Amino acid sequence: MAFGRLQRPGASQPMSEINMTPLIDVMLVLLVIFIITAPLMSSSLRLDLPKADGATPTDAPLFVAVAVDAGGQLFWGDEPVTPEQLQAKVRDSARRNPATEVQLRADQAVPFGRIAELIGLVQAGGLNRVGFVTEVAAAPSAK
């Protein structure tokens, strides 16, 4: 009767390949997140805002954004509205909280008369705090 040796398999060999599946899964999830959030991060309304040296961000906890483009079109956030719709939306905001600030973004090409009309609409709607949004002026270059 012959007895054979019990052979053990050798020590396990180190894996020489990297498992790419988890890395690809994570990268695809990040790609989807960026695709979804990228449009939300940029405003679709393009304005040439005036530049001012003393421009400082406001710390108002509650505000609404109103804009006027170069053609005189009114916007509530990024949504185009008529003057009547704007006044109704301002009234609703004033009912919810009368201390709401209106942040006014106006293109440089808009005449002052149109801005004055917009401020009148906002005040007639019941909100009196109006802040003007500007861009920070570029620092003068040293020569």
Mean pLDDT value across residues 80-89: 91
Region of residue 42 (phi > 0: left; psi between -120 and 50: alpha; otherwise: beta): beta
CATH number at residue 107: 3.30.420.270
Tokens 């949504």 correspond to what residue?
A: 79
Residue 134 is predicted with a pLDDT of 78
User: Is residue 68 within 8 Å of 92, Cβ to Cβ?
Assistant: no
* Residue 8's pLDDT band (cuts 50, 70, 90): low
Task: Please say if the pLDDT value at position 121 is more than 80.
Answer: yes
In a domain, 28, yes or no: no
In a domain, 74, yes or no: yes
User: Is residue 64 within 8 Å of 130, Cβ to Cβ?
Assistant: no
Residue 141 is predicted with a pLDDT of 53
In a domain, 23, yes or no: no
DSSP 121: H
CA-CA distance, 93 to 83, in Å (whole number)? 15
What is the extent of the structural domain holding 130?
A: 51-136
In a domain, 143, yes or no: no
Q: What is the pLDDT of residues 12-32, one digit of tens each?
A: 777 778 888 999 999 999 999
In a domain, 8, yes or no: no
pTM of the model as a whole: 0.58
Residue 17 is predicted with a pLDDT of 81
Domain count within the chain: 1
- To the nearest 10 degrees (0 to 180), the angle between helices 83-96 and 112-125 is 40
In a domain, 142, yes or no: no
In a domain, 100, yes or no: yes
Mean pLDDT value across residues 69-90: 89
DSSP 71-96: T--EEETTEEE-HHHHHHHHHHHHHH
